[in-house]
Amino acid sequence: MARSELYDILQDIDRRKVSYADLRSDLSSGFEIRMENKEIKTLKGINELGLGLRVLVDGTWGFTTATSVESLKRNIPQVISLAENSAKSNTKKIEIETAEGLDQKSRWKPKRSSVFTN
């Protein structure tokens, strides 16, 4: 998954009837180990992608998740439709306000540590 693919999704959403959208992604890595009778039967690395898309349409949220960029793209019309249909009965509309200073970019750098050190 390239960052440009996520940017393209947000550009596509920006051309639609959406007043706000955010897209979140998470990539988890791990291992699968399966043993039978004290023998390793499976040993493999696993990477799992999770994507979440939230849109605000007519003061109402729509939300979808996906495990691939392609499926997220397919979900875009449905999540917008969900928000539009929910807005018809929503009596408490949400408004997003901008605040000064929130447009600044920041980077968080985690400290390197090991679970095996004391």
**H or E element in which residue 79 lies:** helix 69-87
Phi–psi pair at 46, nearest 5 degrees? -130, 130
Residues contacting 66, CB < 8 A, separation 6+ = 50, 51, 53, 72, 75
Query: Which pTM was predicted?
Result: 0.68
Give yes or no for residue 116 having a pLDDT over 80.
Answer: no
Query: pLDDT by residue (tens digit) across 53-76?
Result: 999 999 999 999 999 999 999 999
Domain that holds residue 74: 3-33+44-87
* CATH code: domain of residue 25: 3.30.160
Q: Residue 94 above 80 pLDDT?
A: yes
Asked if the structure places residue 20 within a domain, the reply is yes
Residue 64 included in any domain: yes
Q: Based on the structure, what is the number of domains in the chain?
A: 1
User: For residue 70, is it within any domain?
Assistant: yes
Please, which pLDDT band fits residue 10 given cuts at 50, 70 and 90?
confident
- Give a yes or no: residue 102 inside a domain: no
Give the length of the chain: 118
Report how far residue 115's alpha carbon sits from residue 91's, in angstroms, rounded to the nearest whole number. Answer: 50
Strand residues in 1-118 grouped as ranges (E):
20-36, 39-57, 60-66
59 falls within a domain: yes
Instruction: Tell me if 94 is assigned to some domain.
Output: no
